[in-house]
A and B are shown apart, each in its own frame.
Chain A
């Protein structure tokens, strides 16, 4: 895959928030790349830094947040070096974002048409009439019925699924090269989730944009992504293509996440969960950050931080006890089939 040129390249990204209680290292050394037209999934629990990663790349952090280190290259441009005015042109035009809550991400006092047209007028050289036409076209593309009528409706007049469609129309109206989808289906009910994911897939085929899918839902990842970054406590713990990841997880955290998914053919009273909670970002444990919750943790894990190493082609993981994990998985899977 190295021959292909990455659209987005993130190297050792560190984003720190300076709060009154101390420095929160929300993202602490994250590296990945996104190739044109592909879907990269970023998975992790809430608070692991997935959203902050995307906000850092778009340079949308608030005053407290600061990119403390690392490099971001997008489309051959050094995102950290270009001036804000240029960044504004990139936002919405080349890089766009859709949010988790379609209700709060749309301005309640304007019609959805007005908001889609705002994006179009901002980046394209068209007059209002043409912008309106384009907006209607976009609404049609995202599957909103009667777009001529819906365009003049306010967000509160639409259902959750419709709002998310409008949001997608808004972010795709300028045909971006890269789209961040930050938990786009979390606030929707399951049938609508499937529709929205289907829609995003078909739009991706149509437009050929790259997609970064941020989610805590491995089901969404399995459905959408080609490659996956698993994040835990601000760090990448595993990075692989989706088939490898599901077949051979090489980090106990990934393995735990997969175990936590209910299976159709099993009749369990209690679902598995990873014991404990995500550590306080102000006070991460020494060594491996997962050591407080890891069933395989040893003294070494408490002292030394495991490096992210390539264990096979295009598959990296950060764990001291990969061999132990392989053994555990083998035993567990044997038990399942028996």
Chain B
């Protein structure tokens, strides 16, 4: 059995590595992981203490274009290179924590709703509808305004308004899978209900959630950056891609002087989102045996 399993695994891996977009996504993601791990070696540390505070490079608010000393330039007195490199860590933290908790809440709410059905389903789904009916960005802004500034508040706000689509997805999938004949067949074999849910229904329903999760990691980073840009996100000076963008807000009419403050963190964000999307696609191909062959 182990020998057989291994060859199956190898077959999948071989398929994965011959898929161009999957390789590109994995490489990109790996690149970001390396940058996040070696941030102190790449961009140095903040001698003043907190590494997640971008050290001041100048006391003038005037942007300084890229130079040997500041490869990505300086905006708002902060070194953009330092911010982009250390911001990678922030991006991972934001994306993984928000998606992880939002998906967990979503899966719990969705499965309870689908499994119990009836009025439980009705109540939970109406609550989900209420959350969905509030525009996401507005809700997140209001939340962060109430909770106060800071990255942790952004995370909480985005979790509170980020679980609904997962809940709906898993509920729909379970309802659909419950009617499948293999569930009836498993019952006809004398299998217990909860074993059927865990063994037969969840494996058939969880893949879309995993794929959705990986794709949303990127988009949450963008949303968090949007909140920072609007001034309700991380504190000014925090090593976060959105914070750097918010510095450039005052210089938007003078792009010839401040382009680097948009281009570098912006590129980092685009590539980050792209990486997760490609990996998400590849994950679906790996996990779902129906997509093989």
Q: Give A residues with C-beta under 8 Å from B.
A: 58, 60, 88-93, 96-97, 99, 101, 104-110, 118-119, 122-123, 132, 152, 154, 156-157, 167, 170-171
Contacts and interface: CB of A to CB of B under 8 A. Distances in A.
Contact of A156 (B189, B199, B289): B289
A109 B205 CA distance: 10
Given A101-B181, A152-B4, A152-B8, A108 B188 contact: no
Contact of B180 (A104, A119, A171): A104
Nearest to A109: B203
B182 interface: yes
A93 B185 contact: no
A104 B289 CA distance: 15
8 contacts: A88-B191, A104-B180, A109-B288, A110-B203, A118-B199, A152-B8, A156-B289, A171-B188
B190 A104 contact: no
Given A109-B290, A110-B203, 5 more contacts: A88-B192, A89-B190, A93-B190, A105-B182, A132-B1
B280 to A, nearest CB: 19
Given A118-B191, A156-B290, A109 B204 contact: yes
Nearest to A152: B4
B15 interface: no
The 7 closest A-B pairs by CB, nearest first: A92-B189, A92-B190, A91-B190, A104-B181, A107-B182, A97-B188, A105-B181
Interface in B202-228: 203-204
A257 B199 CA distance: 43
B188 A107 contact: no
A259 B109 CA distance: 56
B204 A119 contact: no
Contacts of B199: 118
A152 B180 CA distance: 22
B200 interface: yes
Interface in B13-44: none
Contacts of A92: 188-191
A99 B200 contact: no
Nearest to B191: A122
B289 A96 contact: no
Contact of A60 (B180, B184, B288): B184
A123 B190 contact: yes
B293 interface: yes
B249 interface: no
B230 interface: no
A88 B188 CA distance: 8
A106 B289 contact: no
Contacts of B203: 109-110
A109 B289 contact: yes
A182 to B, nearest CB: 10
B187 interface: yes
A108 B203 CA distance: 10
Given A107-B200, A108-B289, A152-B4, A118 B184 contact: no
B134 interface: no
A91 B188 contact: yes
A51 to B, nearest CB: 11
A123 B189 CA distance: 9
Contacts of B293: 156-157
A90, A101, A108, most chain B CB atoms within 10 A = A108
Interface in B75-108: none
B181 to A, nearest CB: 4
B190 A88 contact: yes
Nearest to B189: A92
A100 to B, nearest CB: 8
Contacts of A60: 184, 187-188
B147 interface: no
B186 interface: yes
Contacts of A58: 188
Contacts of A88: 190-192
A96 B290 CA distance: 27
A101 B182 CA distance: 10
A108 B204 CA distance: 8
Contacts of A99: 181, 184-185
Contacts of B290: 108-109, 156
A128 to B, nearest CB: 8
A108 to B, nearest CB: 5
Contacts of A96: 188-189
A97 B185 contact: yes
A226 to B, nearest CB: 24
Given A108-B289, A109-B288, A152-B4, A118 B189 contact: yes
Nearest to A170: B189
A16 B200 CA distance: 28
